[in-house]
Structure formats: structure tokens, C-alpha cells
Amino acid sequence: MSSQIDHLLNEDRRFAPSPEFAASAIADADLYARAAEDRLGFWADHARDLHWHTPFTEVLDWSNPPFAKWFDDGELNVAYNCLDRHVEAGNGDRAALLWEGEPGDERRVTYAELTDEVKRVANVLEGLGVVAGDRVAIYMPMIPEAIAAMLAVVRIGAIHSVVFGGFSADSLRARIDDAGAKVVITADGGYRKGKVSALKPAVDQALSDRGAGVQETVEHVLVVRRGENEVDWTDGRDIWWHDAVPAASADHDAPALPAEHPLFILYTSGTTGKPKGILHTSAGYLTQAAFTNRVVHDIHPESDVYWCTADVGWITGHTYVTYGPLANGATQVIYEGTPDAPHPGRWWEIVEKYGVTVLYTAPTAIRSFMKIGRAVPQSFDLSSLRVLGSVGEPINPEAWMWYREIIGADSAPIVDTWWQTETGAIMVSALPGVTETKPGSAQAPIPGISIDVVDEQGRHVGNGNGGLLVVTEPWPSMLRGIWGDPERFVETYWEKFRDQGFYFAGDGARLDDDGDVWLLGRVDDVMNVSGHRLSTAEIESSLVAHEATAEAAVVGASDETTGQAVVAFVILKESYLAAHAPEGLAQQLRLWVGEQIGPIARPRDIYIVSELPKTRSGKIMRRLLRDVAEGREVGDTTTLADTAVMSVISAQVK
Ligand code: PRX
């Protein structure tokens, strides 16, 4: 880590916005002044950009920290704000979604059409007995129906839990059960890497073999036909979308819902084996989602073509595909498939075809394009691009520069946006047109957000020093809790700096001499692989669930393309070895983890070892395993119970 810090500190390139860009930018420096002068008034003003059924009179209730209430006595409807109000304002013919399927099929969905579809789906869900507060799981490919499903659920006050389509049946089951979902919305399958990847079978599996004593909560499964793959059917439970939705009425009044009404649960990995259901509520979330999408992505709804490449299964897809852009009445591109199907220039072909002006993606994608080489993007016309965004992991200055020069024609501002599933929306970022950008730095909290970098005791570290990133004041889109586990919420995020009342993000950061923020990665046992959060504990428990494994330790090792990669060290059971040959077992274990959690969790490397480095109290020293995984000399081993262990492991890994 220290060589990385030194490298970052030597970064002195600066890019000021062009005067033309600054002149037409949505953001201006006054935003900072206004927010500094009256932070709550600032957020109240932005909240008033939304449509309220009942205006709020109170901005923030922080009388029972860390349980915040924003705009608590107001009432609104999130789906109405994303749909009906644009139609009522005369923008019904504007494209909301420019959808591109992986095989090349396309659909243009206007605000009027999306509103109509969402109203029908809302009626279908109500017809199935879904009422406000019920949970609906969504397990879908990136097709317009995924967005319509989310909006229909929240329109009637139900709560969605979107599960990324790449997760396994087991992961889906765990999430369905934890939330107690009443309905699952899915598709037969979707296109990935040139073929149909089935989804419905995973839902069937998730709903069939549940453990003893777990109560079945799912009453219906609503299925979109997309992949046209064969699917099993459970009469009475399963319903085709194309039968139910077109037949439903397109009249549906959006009910007024309390500002703090729960909006969605999104599961994310923490430091234990069990994913956390992060809970977000309505008005505060939508306020910050819409505001940040406008000022950070510089969205001019009447002219921009925006493209956020995230899947709706992640928080980035929630906030910057579904809620932010639609609340702003923007036009956006949605792409179903993988970046390299059927050819490595697919993304740039899409940028050219739709004239994308604002692109928001992850460093891991940029690094894989760098590997392929500049010739691929340079064979497309990317001149429409004027703002580039980055999210999900630290972006190294080299990737930042490549993004700017090769994709952004050396002129488009780059916004490196730091935030989390828990923060709901962007927290730290440059503002295009305002900020002089620095390659590799997320730079400054956005207006209205208060963050700091502190030491273990919660003291400001001062410029030029590293420490822990904290949020020092409540913010509108903050998580309101962990579904069903208020204690874990307090303990995970608020216990560490309880005296100061700071939110602990779990990230290390450094302030440079200008006070700008440089993110340095997680300080806990959470890994970041291709911008996706994975927990070491979750993968370890999957590995030990295999009959061959006695013990396992997982670390995140740095990887040139994916940021970090999962590397596992596994001790096999004597009894298993007595009856089986160990050949091919590492590969079997990789696939096992993929089946248990999902392909993204598959370890890059699995090393079969005879021991693991432990302290005298039995704690695994992952730091030493990371040294081995990254091919470095092993660090200080003096606190190990048996100091010879590391040479044994190093020899076995070679
Ligand atoms: O470690 C930080 C990293 O991603 C984590 C949050 O992951 P998740 O909840 O999955 O949300 C990802 C998309 C918002 C953070 O704790 N992270 C996110 N953005 C950045 C980042 N690290 C450095 N720079 C970023 N811009």
C-alpha cells in the first residue's frame, strides 16, 4: 500500500474545465457556498425540486441517532416523480430508455410508454395481493421490464429487493428468505456473452429446496419472456408478464406515501458471511439521487444521452440507472449484454450509435479496454462524449489518463465518484465545470455532504496524512438500517466513532496538501473485485461447506485488471484425501464457489496448503497470505503462533 501512496502523492497533473464547459455546466461554485451557509436549507431546496403530494415542513429529525428521518412529515410517490410528472409536463414523447439487447435488437421506450407499462404492472401486483410494505424480489436481465418492475413495486408502496442476475440460486434463496418476499419478478433468461443465460431455473431451484423450518413466503412468480429458453412452469404460482401486463388496466393513481416509507432493500457483502440487507427510504434517497445525477453527471435532460453501464442488480444501477436519471427526466441508454459481445468494440459502437454524451462506468472496465488497446475505441466516433464518470473502486492515474485521452478526446472532464450501497448516492466527487480535476483523486465532498479523514481516535488527520474516511453529518440518502437487524446497523457503521457520531465507511483515505481525498481501499475484510463487493468470510464459508475442505482463508490480492482478485488458501480434510486424489480439486472448488455464491465470487487462485498463519489467539493473519498471493516477501511474522508456517506455505504455493 505504501508504494501506491507514494506514487499517488507524486501525481501533479491538473485539468481545469474549459470556459465553454463551465459556462453551460449545471453545477457552479455557488452550490458549495449555499450548502456551507445552510446545509439543511440547501437539501430542503433540492427536495422541493420533487413533486410532493404533501409538502414537508421539517427537514431533518436526528433526535434518535443513528436513525435519521428526512422530510418526515411530507408525502410523495417516487414512481410518480420518475414518470407521471414528466408526462404531465408535456415530455411524454421523450425517450426514457434507449435499450440495446446483446444480439442487437433495440427498443425505444418513451416516458409515456414507461408510465403506461408501470401503471399496468402496478395493477398486476395489486391484483396478486401485494400491498404497501410487502417485499418483491426482482431477478432479471438488463431489459426495460427490470426498470418497470422496480418502479411498479415502489409505486404501490411495496419494497423491492433486486438480486443481481449473476447470483446463484442459493444466494437468491438467502435474499428471498431474509426479506420474506411475496412475489418474485424474473425472466426466462437474458443474453450474456452471445448466449442465453437462464434465470427462471434458479428461481425454481431457490423456491424448491429450502431448508427445514423456513417458511415459504413467495406466492407468485411473474416471468418476462426474453431468452425464449424452455422453462418449467408451476401452475397457479407462475404468471407470464406478457399475459398479465398488457391485459391489466393502464389507469393507476400513484398513492401519496410518507417521505420515510421504505423504498428498497439491497443486499451487500459485509465482514461476516451473511450479506446485509441495506434499507433505503423514499424522499431523502430520491432527492440526493436526482441532485447528484444532475450536478455530477451534468445532465441536461432535453439534450443529453446518458449511459451508466451498471446492472440494476447493484446500487449504481438503482441510483444512476433507475432513480436519478428518471427523476430528472433524462434519456438514457441501457445495454443488456457484456462489453465484448459479439466484438470488443461493442460499447464504443453503442456510444457512436446513440450519440452518448455522458458515460458512467467502472475502472475495471477501463483497465480491460486499455489492455485490448486504443485501436478499438479509436475506430468509432466518440466525439459526442462530454462527461466521463468513474465509480466502484479507486481509479489509478494511468487508467484515468487513458480514459480522458482515448475516450474523452483529452477534453471531457472525469468525475471519480466515491460512494457506497449504504450512502445511496454520490458523496465525494469533482463537479464538472467547477473542479480542477486530478487523476486518481475523488477530490471533495459534494455540496451538502460532510466528510473527514480521521485517525483511530476520530481526530482529523490533517492534510498530507492518511486515515479512515468518515461521514460527519447525516445525509438525505443515507441507509436507514439493515433489514431486520438494527443492532448490526449500529455496530457496523456507528460504533467505532460513537463518541463523535461519525459514520464509519470502512475505507482508508488520504488527504493531499490541498485537502483533496484519495481513496486507498477497504480497511476491513471486504474485497473489491471489478468494483463489486465481496466478503472474505462469505467465500470462506462457501469453501468450507465443500466436503473436501477442512479450513479456508481468503484474501483480496491486487490485480491489474480487476483491482483485487479473490485468492483462497485451503486445507483439505485428511479423511477426504484418504479416499480421493487431490488433482483437479482446486478447479472443482472454484466452480463450487461460483455455484454457491455466483461466478463473480469464484477465486482467481486456490492454493492447497497444509497450514494457515494464525496468531496465538487463533486469528488468521490475512496480511501475510496477501504477501504470498501478491508474490511479495512475507512481512513480519513475529506474532504468529508458529513462525515457521509461512515458509511451509510459501513453498507449497510455488
Ligand atoms: O471501497 C469503496 C469502493 O466501493 C465500496 C462500496 O461498494 P458498493 O457498496 O458495492 O458500491 C459501489 C458503487 C458505489 C466503497 O466502500 N468505492 C466505490 N467508489 C469508489 C470506491 N473506492 C475508490 N474510489 C471510488 N470512486
pLDDT at 126: 98
Residue 150 belongs to a domain:
yes
pLDDT in tens, 217-226: 999 999 999 9
β-pairing, 262-268 vs 159-162, is parallel
pLDDT at 571 over 50: yes
In this structure, the residue with its CA closest to atom 7 of ligand 1 is 420
pLDDT band at 272 (very low <50, low <70, confident <90, very high): confident
Question: Is 635 labeled as ligand-binding?
Answer: no
- Residue range 630-648: average pLDDT? 90
Question: Is 361 labeled as ligand-binding?
Answer: no
Question: Is 418 labeled as ligand-binding?
Answer: yes
Task: State whether the beta carbon of 396 lies less than 6 angstroms from ligand 1.
Answer: no
Question: Is 322 labeled as ligand-binding?
Answer: no
**How many angstroms is it from 532 CA to the middle of ligand 1?**
8
Burial of 364 (0-12, 13-18, 19+ CB in 10 A): buried
Distance CA(431)–CA(445), nearest Å, equals 10
Range of the domain at 141: 53-290
The pTM is what?
A: 0.95
Residue 202 belongs to a domain:
yes
**How many angstroms is it from 307 CA to the middle of ligand 1?**
19
Task: State whether the beta carbon of 518 lies less than 6 angstroms from ligand 1.
Answer: no
Least confident of 3-7, 430-434, 550-554: 3-7
Atom of ligand 1 nearest to the CA of 526: 1
- Residue range 280-291: average pLDDT? 98
- Give the C-alpha distances (Å, rounded to integers) separating 594 from 166, 542, 584: 10, 9, 16
Domain boundary at 272, 290, 308, which? 290
In this structure, the residue with its CA closest to atom 8 of ligand 1 is 420
Return the number of other C-beta atoms located less than 10 Å from residue 236's C-beta. 8
Q: What residues contact residue 418 under an 8 Å CB cut-off, 6+ apart?
A: 426, 427, 428, 429, 442, 469, 507, 517, 519
Task: State whether the beta carbon of 504 lies less than 6 angstroms from ligand 1.
Answer: no
Task: State whether the beta carbon of 522 lies less than 6 angstroms from ligand 1.
Answer: yes
Distance CA(528)–CA(395), nearest Å, equals 12
Domain boundary at 290, 313, 347, which? 290
Domain boundary at 242, 260, 290, which? 290
- Residue range 174-179: average pLDDT? 96
| Cell numbers linked to 394 | 479507486
Residue 479 belongs to a domain:
no
pLDDT at 619: 86
The DSSP 8-state label assigned to residue 38 in this structure reads -
pLDDT in tens, 443-482: 999 999 999 999 999 999 999 999 999 999 999 999 999 9
Task: State whether the beta carbon of 442 lies less than 6 angstroms from ligand 1.
Answer: yes
pLDDT at 5: 56
Task: State whether the beta carbon of 328 lies less than 6 angstroms from ligand 1.
Answer: no
Residue 488 belongs to a domain:
no
Distance CA(504)–CA(299), nearest Å, equals 30
Task: State whether the beta carbon of 509 lies less than 6 angstroms from ligand 1.
Answer: no
In the Cβ-directed half-sphere of 12, how many Cα atoms lie within 13 Å?
2
ipTM here: 1.00
The CATH number that applies at residue 538 is 3.30.300.30
Atom of ligand 1 nearest to the CA of 416: 26
**How many angstroms is it from 316 CA to the middle of ligand 1?**
10
555 backbone φψ class: left, alpha, beta (φ>0; ψ -120 to 50): beta
Task: State whether the beta carbon of 177 lies less than 6 angstroms from ligand 1.
Answer: no
Residue 415 belongs to a domain:
no
Q: Name the percent of the chain lying above pLDDT 90.
A: 92
Residue 547 belongs to a domain:
yes
Do the Cβ atoms of 347 and 374 come closer than 8 Å? no
Nearest-5° angle of CA 342, CA 345, CA 346?
55
Distance CA(27)–CA(294), nearest Å, equals 8
Residue 247 belongs to a domain:
yes
Number of domains present in the structure of the chain: 2
The DSSP 8-state label assigned to residue 231 in this structure reads -
Distance CA(233)–CA(441), nearest Å, equals 51
Q: What residues contact residue 455 under an 8 Å CB cut-off, 6+ apart?
A: 461, 467, 468
Task: State whether the beta carbon of 519 lies less than 6 angstroms from ligand 1.
Answer: yes
The CATH number that applies at residue 166 is 3.40.50.12780
Question: Is 371 labeled as ligand-binding?
Answer: no
Distance CA(478)–CA(260), nearest Å, equals 12
pLDDT band at 273 (very low <50, low <70, confident <90, very high): confident
pLDDT at 1: 44
Residue 392 belongs to a domain:
no
Tracing cell 447493484 back to the chain, one arrives at 314
Q: What residues contact residue 218 under an 8 Å CB cut-off, 6+ apart?
A: 137, 176, 181, 182, 183, 184, 207, 237
Question: Is 533 labeled as ligand-binding?
Answer: yes
| Cell numbers linked to 487 | 443492532
